[in-house]
Amino acid sequence: MRLLPILLALPSGIAWAETERQQELRHLVKHDCGSCHGLTLQGGLGPSLTPDRLKPFTAEQLAMTIVHGRPGTAMPPWLPFLSETEAVWLAQGLKEGVFP
């Protein structure tokens, strides 16, 4: 897994001083993810993305779903639009409840 070294390099609590790109990703979560998972990420066409709902999953598992999608479902792969590192950042943020 290519994401494991990235996850090991992350501090236990991510500092949320955001770069311009991270602000773009925050917008993506609200408007693109939110279009299926609900604008407050509490569920819609797709499941809830709240910290309680995501607790059973590791950030790596969530990042792989973000990057590769879920075949046979409406969840598309986002790799054309963001890197694996960005997917890990998003997954950590979702698990910590910093979005939307």
pLDDT at 7: 47
CATH number assigned to the domain comprising residue 88: 1.10.760.10
Distance between CA 92 and CA 100 in Å, rounded?
13
pLDDT at 100: 73
More confident residue, 100 or 93: 93
Classify residue 25: in a domain, yes or no.
Answer: yes
Q: Is the pLDDT of residue 18 over 70?
A: yes
Classify residue 6: in a domain, yes or no.
Answer: no
The domain tally of the chain equals 1
Classify residue 34: in a domain, yes or no.
Answer: yes
Classify residue 71: in a domain, yes or no.
Answer: yes
Tens digit of each residue's pLDDT (9 = 90 or more) over 30-70? 999 999 999 999 999 999 999 999 999 999 999 999 999 99
Classify residue 76: in a domain, yes or no.
Answer: yes
Query: What mean pLDDT is reported for the chain?
Result: 88
Place of tokens 């590791």: 58
The whole-model pTM stands at 0.78
Host domain of residue 70: 19-96
27-34: long-range contacts, CB 8 A cutoff, minimum separation 24? 28/81, 28/82, 29/90, 29/93, 29/94, 29/99, 29/100, 30/99, 30/100, 34/100
